[in-house]
Amino acid sequence: MFLISAFSLFSFFSCKGYQDLDVAGFEKRLSEDSTVQLVDVRTAEEFAAGYIPGAVNIDWKSNDFQALAERMLSTERPVLLYCRSGRRSAAAAQSLSKAGYEVFNLAGGFIAWSEAGKAVAHYEVERFLTDSGQPVDISLIKHACLELRYKGMSIQVDPVIKLGQKETDYAAEFPKADFILVTHEHFDHYDAAAIGMLTGEKTQVVTNARVAQMLEYGTVMANGDALELLDDIRVEAVPAYNTTEGHLQFHPKGRDNGYVLTIDGLRIYIAGDTEDIPEMASLKDIDVAFLPVNQPYTMTPEQCINAAKVIGPKVLIPYHYSNTDLSGLPSALPEMDVRIRQLQ
């Protein structure tokens, strides 16, 4: 009878092709195995309302779920799935297991996770597609703090633990970064403790000379430098400085960086702290631009409008704007996709 029971149990799991885990088992697997790939298969709207830290979103109900999953996920690393209650993720788990993935499903889903009082992240996430259709997910953390996720890799930009009332637990909410980009040394862009939380054995910190001096390590980039991070990821350091009289001391010319990231053809401009400088005219084929709007330290709304017209990005996301009124930007740039997000 024991053999029959064991065989039946084996047959059951073989038929399913994946394993269900309760909240404790799911959390244990997440914490003990750094290679796992955590996937939320709910809709983008559900994901935006709150998700398990470190998850990427691939909607099970989308027509291209399987193709997107196979582009984003490696068959050489285990996949942990969840949805609202466990039903959609069970179906997704079975589909992925047939494609050769080792899959674990969260029984009870996000509801069980939340009711158990486990950590939940709440950041807006913008998704853009590269030339080959690979998604780049950008988490809008706060102010000038961003995370870009691509092929399971994490690129953190200007990570800072606390700004005003907003605090980010980078150790709990994000994986170790593959790359960390720091634009300059001001407290709202440079935080050694945050960098420490995100640094693993393979993390590469890229920054300007002053931050590298303060950290006592890091890859230094000056304005005009370019660096191949990977075969399909290139970063260029571009100027970021003030031009208004009386403000020049905040960000002197030549000290700080903005960055242009080219990820498999997708070009993302992260301006850092700057005004609408002449060098912006040389930026070409920008898909997404993050422009700061916060005088006296960066741009006025009028300067941001001028910079956007010069650069011509497909998508403009103002950031680092504190109490600045951005309501006039969309109407001033009617041909541009202007997205006002919570990046005060």
192 and 145 share a domain?
A: yes
Q: Tell me the pLDDT band of 166, cut-offs 50, 70 and 90.
A: very high
141 and 76 share a domain?
A: no
What is the DSSP code string of 156-218? EES--SEETTEE--HHHHSPPEEEEE---SSTTT--HHHHHHHEEEEEEEEE-HHHHHHHT--
Domain range for 30 is 2-115
Please state, in angstroms and rounded to a whole number, the distance separating the CA atoms of residues 66 and 56. 14
**Residues composing the chain:** 344
Q: Residue 9: inside a domain, yes or no?
A: yes
230 closest CA partner among 174, 154, 133: 154
298 and 321 share a domain?
A: yes
* Pick from 7-21, 163-177, 254-268: least confident: 7-21
Q: Residue 344: inside a domain, yes or no?
A: no
Per-residue pLDDT, 7: 45
- CATH assignment of the domain containing 45: 3.40.250.10
Count of domains observed in the chain: 2
- Which residue, 115, 146, 181, sits at the end of a domain? 115
**Mean pLDDT computed over 62-75:** 93
Helix, strand, coil % in the chain, rounded to nearest 5? 30, 30, 45
Classify 65 as helix, strand or coil.
helix
- Residues 185-220 have pLDDT tens digits of 999 999 999 999 999 999 999 999 999 999 999 999
pLDDT value at 6 more than 60: no
Q: Tell me the pLDDT band of 10, cut-offs 50, 70 and 90.
A: very low
User: Is it true that the peptide bond before 296 is cis, omega within 30 degrees of 0?
Assistant: yes
- Residues 285-305 have pLDDT tens digits of 999 999 999 989 999 999 999
How far out from the chain centre does Cα 270 lie? 13
181 and 330 share a domain?
A: yes
288 and 263 share a domain?
A: yes
- Residues 102-144 have pLDDT tens digits of 999 999 999 999 999 999 999 999 999 999 999 999 999 999 9
152 and 291 share a domain?
A: yes
Reduced 3-state DSSP string for 211-251: HHHHHCCCEECCCCCEEEEECCEEEEEEEECCCCCCCCCCC
Q: Tokens 């994901």 identify what position?
A: 47
Burial of 201: CB neighbours in 10 Å, binned 0-12, 13-18, 19+: exposed
Residues with catalytic function: 83
- Which residue, 67, 91, 115, sits at the end of a domain? 115
Per-residue pLDDT, 15: 61
- CATH assignment of the domain containing 250: 3.60.15.10
Please state, in angstroms and rounded to a whole number, the distance separating the CA atoms of residues 197 and 214. 17
